[in-house]
Structure 1
């Protein structure tokens, strides 16, 4: 009898310790959800739409982007620019050749302080219309997805949300992990119990959905981090290893300007810090856009590439192609006087880190594996919305009246601090996340202290 009682003491102590850890993790899981879920809904909805950016843009702007195929040869690029400038006086800064026989040409024209994208029929030279530069429907969706629409501070929130999302998945896996319930039953592992009126139904639906898509959610969070305002910029500089941004051995011995490729046109993350080369003025004039486009075509640039025009006497013709197939990513800079390629760089020239990251981004955007990639990412986005909704319903069914419904404190408070210490590992990797963790810990302490004072009174 005595041995039985002595054996029950450690067993009871272990159970109390296990419950304390569970409550501590649950508490931080709640805080992570409180902070991240509202933003995750926005990211999931806008991300799902952006997966089909080409299809949506081509439908919305079909009168501008599509033309009838004709037997006549296409007009010269310079003639198409002249037609655009006749309708929209200003300075042409970019030219996008038609990507296929049914596509129009697109010319970006700077008119005073603003820029406008002008679409021209490449067979007839007829101006089809315009949209504001970076003002298309999908560009707005992209800005909303990154929260850049609301300024740099809001863009920094993306970094915090990304870090908290990783913590949310990690703590969620711990809470999901199969363990004996009351009466020896196990639930919410791969099956959903109860009915929609019961909290257990939403708890199981939340847990089972999360365990199946958790790895994909972490993948999206990590691959979205490179464009964050703090972590992304520093990692970008570290990955490039120099101010030029080009991988070692790629930059040729040519004069470099202070202008960066990211300021000229849309580019890959790996090349945002890349500085532009300079043309060397010699006798004679520029080769002209027609010759530059002919050179780019002869070099085998992938269809759909864009050409940035020289911005002055030392400017260059720069062609950039970022198709769905990573191996076809390429940037070529031509001397505007000789037509000589100053820099010719493709995906194969990126370093190992750059290649891995660009691959991750391509999958993130649903491009790497075609339609299957789009469908998979769409399902993940739908699952994120479902997780957010089920979390809200669970909270609503559980919360006490007139209370935030924070999960109960563990009986051993040191466990709560221990869990926070583990979470701070993520805070070291992502500094803004670390700062937010400290702030949340202080608020949690003040919440607990406030309740204790009320009880004392």
Structure 2
């Protein structure tokens, strides 16, 4: 939630109070700091949150828009029998001999096309692939589009995704989204505490969670801001937590922490035969120059290769039903990797490695065996991107993004309604920390220190606030002393 109104220089603020279940002395000590921090963070970080919310709203609708815009490439009339995968790949290579085959995604359902993914294609972003769409019933090539990411995002969704993630500014632009995600949870929690303190006299949840219809002016705006913020709080906390997993600095810290806890996402080993030094091949990274994956000779192929159809048959025998992605051997000594790629519920993320010479399964990795944090990370990311529960997920994300936009607009309106005389409110009074009981101050300080370490774009500005804001309280007294001397 964004800016909460502050009181004039004298008197109590309009949201004075103690949240239910907190002692008056504890809250009276914490409240000035929470209120001031919520205000500053709301005013300064809200523009970044507004951009994230608007672009997130666009992204929530992009998954359905993609199906409409690229309907010709994605869908075909359902036929009676599909061609062997090797023939479909051969048709794709005949139309697009450029680049290298990095993966194949067989048609996942009736009426859907097969995707043959090519890497190293001139004019295609190195981090992207060229997806060639093939009719699985006739072998007709329906078109080719640039594709990004494990969800198979096509140009429209990719453009919106990059706008949301980094404003099309690359690594520099990612700092905006990390700053927004780092502060969103703190602004939200602060806003919830302030609202519960303001509504502490209400006896029912319904009375706390709905706006005051009798209020007018700034109080009405604050009532809308607080009630909607309370409803949206859990969703905003979720977006903050999952958004940080993609960030530059905080994301790296989270990855390191998961590794230290033994909670990284496992990957099937594609090492086969004598290629032991290549253990640890990761899904999706392989390609083989000149390979047609159909069982015939290719440029850098193994001397014996059972072919794509036999590989897919072996994966099916291990229970890997649609949708799947097949990645060719990365180099001699490695095998095919077949992975399930369903991100909707229930998720299908099993994977197997297959020896290209024999067609035998050499390694199996089941999603059921993932560590707990790896599963939670997978579910959280897919829920954040709107694919876990399909259209229902996307509608919920759109509603949450719209709610955040309204919270920011109401927050700035409250700021405007306060007038120029108290536009920046009063700083935290000197000695405010001394009013906080030690039993609360010590864990609070430890929490702030840990959060600041793992979230540097939260920690650095927060440290600056804690140092500079109390100094502002001393400026009037210093100014009076200077004026008196004159």
TM-score by shorter chain over 0.5: yes
| 1:83 alignment partner in structure 2 | 91
Distance in 2 between residues matched to 1:420 and 1:406, nearest whole Å: 26
Q: Residue 209 in 1 paired to residue 228 in 2?
A: yes
> How far is 1:282 from its partner?
11
Q: Deviations over 1:279-312 (max 9, x none)?
A: xx99841222222222223333232222222233
> How far is 1:252 from its partner?
9.6
| Mapped contact 1:107–1:119 kept (Cα < 8 A) | yes
Distance in 2 between residues matched to 1:140 and 1:259, nearest whole Å: 32
| Mapped contact 2:386–2:394 kept (Cα < 8 A) | yes
> How far is 1:180 from its partner?
7.8
| 2:43 alignment partner in structure 1 | 34
Distance in 2 between residues matched to 1:288 and 1:365, nearest whole Å: 35
Matches within 5 A, 1:241-260: 245=264, 255=276, 257=278
Q: Deviations over 1:294-351 (max 9, x none)?
A: 2223333232222222233234322222321244222222222222223321220101
Q: Deviations over 1:327-384 (max 9, x none)?
A: 4222222222222223321220101222233333343334444544443333222211
1:219 paired residue among 238, 243, 251:
238
Gaps of 5+ in 2: 1-22, 149-153, 287-299
| 2:291 alignment partner in structure 1 | none
Matches within 5 A, 1:41-440: 41-71=50-80, 73-90=81-98, 91-110=100-119, 111-112=121-122, 114=124, 115-134=129-148, 136-147=155-166, 149-179=168-198, 189-193=208-212, 198-240=217-259, 245=264, 255=276, 257=278, 261=282, 264=285, 284-323=303-342, 324-400=344-420, 405-415=423-433, 422=444, 425-429=447-451, 430-432=454-456, 433-440=458-465
Q: Please say which of residues 352-361 and 191-200 is displaced more in the overlay.
A: 191-200
Distance in 2 between residues matched to 1:395 and 1:291, nearest whole Å: 66
Q: Deviations over 1:29-56 (max 9, x none)?
A: 0122134322222333333343455422
> How far is 1:194 from its partner?
6.3
The 3 A distance-change label for structure 1 pair 337 and 48 is: farther
> How far is 1:213 from its partner?
1.6
Q: Please say which of residues 150-159 and 89-98 is displaced more in the overlay.
A: 150-159
Distance in 1 between residues matched to 2:144 and 2:435, nearest whole Å: 58
Distance in 2 between residues matched to 1:320 and 1:399, nearest whole Å: 59
Tell me the SS of whatever aligns to 2:245: helix
Distance in 2 between residues matched to 1:242 and 1:424, nearest whole Å: 21
The 3 A distance-change label for structure 1 pair 253 and 86 is: closer
2:466 paired residue among 438, 441, 446:
441
Tell me the SS of whatever aligns to 2:417: helix
| Mapped contact 1:19–1:410 kept (Cα < 8 A) | no
The 3 A distance-change label for structure 1 pair 152 and 133 is: same
Report the count of equivalent residues: 421
The 3 A distance-change label for structure 1 pair 127 and 316 is: same
Q: Please say which of residues 100-109 and 171-180 is displaced more in the overlay.
A: 171-180
- Cα-Cα RMSD: 3.8
Give the TM-score normalised by structure 2.
0.74
Instruction: Tell me which of the two structures has the higher relative contact order, counting C-alpha pairs closer than 8 angstroms and 6 or more residues apart.
Output: 2
Give the TM-score normalised by structure 1.
0.79
| Mapped contact 1:155–1:229 kept (Cα < 8 A) | yes
> How far is 1:191 from its partner?
4.0
